[in-house]
Structures are given as C-alpha cells and as structure tokens.
C-alpha cells in the first residue's frame, strides 16, 4: 500500500506499527495505565493483583523485515504478539497495520484482516491428526472459504517451499517434530498473509533441526519478503534472524536495535547478561566497529612509510573488506601487520578502518553507550523513530 505525502513523493507505508501499547490484566486496567505512566512500577501494581504484561511498547516493523522480540519468561512477549493481531485488545495504545488502526476495527473486520493478512505460527503447532498434511497446510485457506482445488494447489506450493514436497498425503503422526513444524509454517505461508507472527516457533526443535528451520526461514524470506515478528528466548536465534531486535524485561522494551547494537552497546546489565555467551567475532561486522578513515592518516606502515590519504591506507592495509564482513575475518590480517584493515564500499571507496587495538577492544567488555539509548523509564527514545524513518526512505 502506498501513500502520497505533501511533497508528492511516494513512500511505502510501514507494515506494522505499535504505538505506546499497554496491556494490563486485572482490576481497573485504565487506572493502572495512568499509574504506570506516572512511574509506578510493575511490582507495586502486582501487590494489588494487577499484572502489567506490556508497558508502553512502541516500534515499527518495515515490510520485508524480521523483527525479533526477546526476553525471559513472563516478560510480556506473547501478550505483545497477541495485541499485534488483535487477539487481545490493548488497554492503551494503537496497532497500525498498513496504516489501518486495528484497535478501531469492528470484530467482523478484524476477523477478516486476521484471516487474510496475518498468519501465526506457534511453538507447538496443533496439526489436525485426522487430516492429511495437505489438508493441514490448506486449513487457513479453508477458513477463508477458498475452493478446494485452489486450496490444494496453494497448500502444495507452500509445502514445497518448506521442503515437504511428496509428503502431501501423509498423516501428521508419520512426520517428525521438525517436519510437523514445517507444516505449520506452510499453513502460515499458504494464505499469502503479509504479516507472519511467530511465537517461539522453533523452540521445541532439536538444535540441528532448529538451525535448519532458521536457514529455511531466511531463505524463504529472501523471495517472499514477508513482514515477520518472531519471538524467542534464544539470543543466538534472535541474532541470526533479526533485522532488528527488541529486548523485553518485565513488560517493557528495554532495548531496540540491531544485533550489533545489542552486542556492542547493551542498554543495561540485563541486556548484557544475555549477550555473555555470544560469539561476538561472528556476529559483529567490520562496519559496526570501524573507525573514521581519517584516524589512519598520519600513521605509518611497519616499514615506516607514512599513510597520507585513503589511497595509501588501502594500498598498505593487510586486508580490504566490505562493511558486512564478520570480524573473525580480520584477525589473521591484523596479526600479520600493525596497519589497520581497510573497509571499503561497493565502489571501492574507503569508508572506515579497523586498527588492531579496536578489534581487540570489542571482544572485551561491552562498550558504554556514548548517548543514552533509553528514556529514564526504560522506554525507547525518538532516536529509534528516526532510524525507522531512514529505513522507510531506503525502501522508497
């Protein structure tokens, strides 16, 4: 869907936006929201039997992005997801999907949006045991009232996408857990919904199969370009899949950013504790840690030659890499030479340098954020909105 703005420039409308979403369970929820806005904590509310499951969540997911929500059990992830598809009504705030405010739709219109535009994949995908794999994959289409022939064609296509061609006539109990989960994914894909909501969809799988499913999702996403919200407990999964990651704690989003943001400048100790076991050398990229090219001007090669400009830096560098190179690729060159590694763009222009010292520093303690990424309440600041705006511009 496109919208025309004052400048007559066409831009894509964001697929999914959450604006100051709250969900409070229990007595007098509206009053609880006002208390939360005034700084009353979740624990205080719990004392009188009220649970603030989601507190002031705001974010934008652009078309084609995988947005990961991560956090410990009880942090509010599933509640947040259920508000995104209208299964739960927010206590306060709005959910905009393609510019349409889901919170104002009639139950009938909401059901229509849910059955045609949004698909959910759960952790334990409940397949119908007495229906074939094909019938299970076509279930979402059946609910939409799509005729049998068309349904079977689209279900078979979705099964093929998920690597299950040839299994159409089988029964669910003839499939392994991983294959059953693929049927669940196929069911979600068959409906052509733009928005996929995935709640711990791969968490019940063995590690190897889980990795396989992650690969498959990334592969599918290259061509399907769905808008995906993916919930997980697992930071490695979050980092592999997420274009952007929201970390939730006690109902609040405490950090929102790329995998690199979260690794390099965790917003607080809670976020940092998640990242302890991550292999930074494979997640961080040259682009994320590089310094300004000019910092290399005036330095000397091991042979004593002064590097005066970009040309000199590139010529002397022990390696020239692109911004998306994982930093593990920089260690060998850096160990062989004291000169910084050069980072260039697609046109071969120097965009940054990685000196040996910087490479070593990022593997140590996480860096302290230079600008506080959080508001005092732990919400996300306008900087996030600005970043999202840039992404919109990039899509336009």
Ligand X SMILES: Nc1ncnc2c1ncn2[C@@H]1O[C@H](COP(=O)(O)OP(=O)(O)OP(=O)(O)O)[C@@H](O)[C@H]1O
The site for ligand X (CB under 6 A) is made up of 25, 51, 53, 71, 73-79
In whole angstroms, give the CA distance from residue 272 to residue 283.
Answer: 15
Cβ proximity to Mg ion, 76 vs 378, nearer residue: 76
The span from the first CA to the last CA of the chain, in angstroms, equals 12
In whole angstroms, give the CA distance from residue 315 to residue 368.
Answer: 33
Q: Which does 136 bind (CB under 5 to 8 A by kind): Mg ion, ligand X, none?
A: none
C-alpha R_g of the chain: 24
Q: Which does 51 bind (CB under 5 to 8 A by kind): Mg ion, ligand X, none?
A: ligand X
Q: Which residue is nearest to Mg ion (CB)?
A: 78
Q: Identify whether the C-beta of residue 230 lies closer than 8 Å to the C-beta of residue 66.
A: yes
Q: Parallel, antiparallel, or unpaired: how do β-strands 195-199 and 118-121 relate? A: parallel
Please list, in sequence order, all residues whose beta carbon lies within 8 angstroms of the beta carbon of residue 37, skipping any fewer than 6 positions away.
56
Cβ proximity to ligand X, 190 vs 197, nearer residue: 197
Structural tokens at position 298: 């005036």
Cβ proximity to ligand X, 24 vs 263, nearer residue: 24
Structural tokens at position 159: 């099964």
Q: Which does 123 bind (CB under 5 to 8 A by kind): ligand X, Mg ion, none?
A: none
Structural tokens at position 47: 């004392």
Q: Which does 76 bind (CB under 5 to 8 A by kind): ligand X, Mg ion, none?
A: ligand X
Question: What is the total count of residues that contact Mg ion (CB under 5 A)?
Answer: 1
207-224 and 177-190 are packed helices; what angle lies between their axes, rounded to 10 degrees? Answer: 20
**Does residue 255 touch Mg ion according to CB under 5 A?**
no
Cβ proximity to ligand X, 134 vs 197, nearer residue: 197
Please, which residues bridge with residue 51 across strands?
A: 25
| CB 270 to Mg ion: min, Å | 18
Helices and strands (H and E) in the chain: how many: 18, 15
Long-range contacts of 202-211 (CB under 8 A, 24+ apart): 202/232, 202/237, 203/123, 203/232, 203/233, 203/234, 204/123, 204/124, 204/177, 205/177, 205/178, 205/181, 206/177, 206/178, 209/176, 209/177, 209/178, 210/237
Please list, in sequence order, all residues whose beta carbon lies within 8 angstroms of the beta carbon of residue 77, skipping any fewer than 6 positions away.
69, 70, 71, 199, 231, 248
| CB 73 to ligand X: min, Å | 3
Cβ proximity to Mg ion, 69 vs 193, nearer residue: 69
Cβ proximity to ligand X, 75 vs 119, nearer residue: 75
Q: Which does 50 bind (CB under 5 to 8 A by kind): Mg ion, ligand X, none?
A: none
Site for Mg ion in 40-99 (CB under 5 A): 78
Q: Which does 106 bind (CB under 5 to 8 A by kind): ligand X, Mg ion, none?
A: none
| CB 251 to ligand X: min, Å | 7
| CB 123 to Mg ion: min, Å | 8
Q: Which does 75 bind (CB under 5 to 8 A by kind): ligand X, Mg ion, none?
A: ligand X
Cβ proximity to ligand X, 64 vs 76, nearer residue: 76
Residues making contact with Mg ion (CB under 5 A): 78
């Amino acid at each position: 869907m496109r919208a025309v703005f004052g400048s007559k420039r066409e831009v894509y409308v964001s697929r999914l936006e959450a604006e100051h979403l709250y969900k409070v369970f229990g007595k007098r929820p509206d009053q609880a929201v006002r208390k939360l806005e005034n700084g009353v904590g979740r624990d205080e509310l719990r004392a009188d039997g009220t649970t603030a499951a989601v507190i002031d969540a705001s974010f934008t997911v652009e078309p084609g992005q995988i947005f990961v929500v991560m956090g410990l059990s009880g942090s509010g992830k599933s509640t947040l997801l259920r508000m995104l598809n209208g299964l739960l009504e927010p206590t306060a705030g709005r959910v905009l999907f393609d510019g349409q405010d889901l919170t104002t739709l009639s139950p009938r219109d909401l059901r229509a949006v849910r059955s045609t535009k949004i698909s959910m994949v759960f952790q334990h995908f409940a397949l119908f045991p007495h229906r074939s794999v094909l019938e299970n994959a076509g279930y979402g289409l059946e609910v939409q009232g799509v005729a049998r022939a068309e349904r079977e064609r689209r279900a078979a296509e979705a099964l093929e996408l998920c690597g299950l061609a040839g299994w159409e006539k089988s029964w669910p109990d003839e499939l392994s857990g991983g294959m059953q989960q693929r049927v669940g994914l196929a069911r979600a894909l068959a409906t052509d919904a733009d928005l996929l909501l995935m709640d711990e969809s791969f968490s019940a799988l063995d590690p190897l199969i889980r990795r396989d499913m992650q690969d498959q999702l990334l592969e599918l996403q290259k061509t399907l370009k769905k808008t995906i919200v993916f919930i997980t407990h697992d930071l490695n999964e979050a980092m592999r899949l997420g274009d952007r990651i929201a970390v939730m704690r006690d109902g609040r989003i405490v950090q929102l950013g790329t995998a690199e943001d979260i690794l390099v400048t965790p917003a607080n100790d809670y976020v940092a504790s998640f990242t302890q076991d991550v292999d930074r050398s494979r997640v961080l990229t040259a682009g994320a840690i590089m310094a300004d090219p000019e910092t290399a001007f005036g330095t000397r090669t091991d042979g004593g030659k002064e590097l005066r400009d970009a040309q000199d830096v590139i010529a002397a560098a022990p390696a020239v890499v692109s911004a998306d190179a994982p930093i593990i690729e920089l260690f060998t060159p850096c160990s062989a030479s004291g000169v910084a590694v050069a980072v260039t763009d697609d046109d071969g222009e120097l965009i940054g340098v990685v000196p040996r010292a910087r490479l070593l520093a990022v593997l140590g303690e996480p860096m302290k954020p230079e600008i506080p990424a959080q508001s005092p309440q732990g919400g996300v600041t306008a900087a996030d909105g600005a970043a999202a705006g840039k992404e919109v511009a990039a899509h336009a």
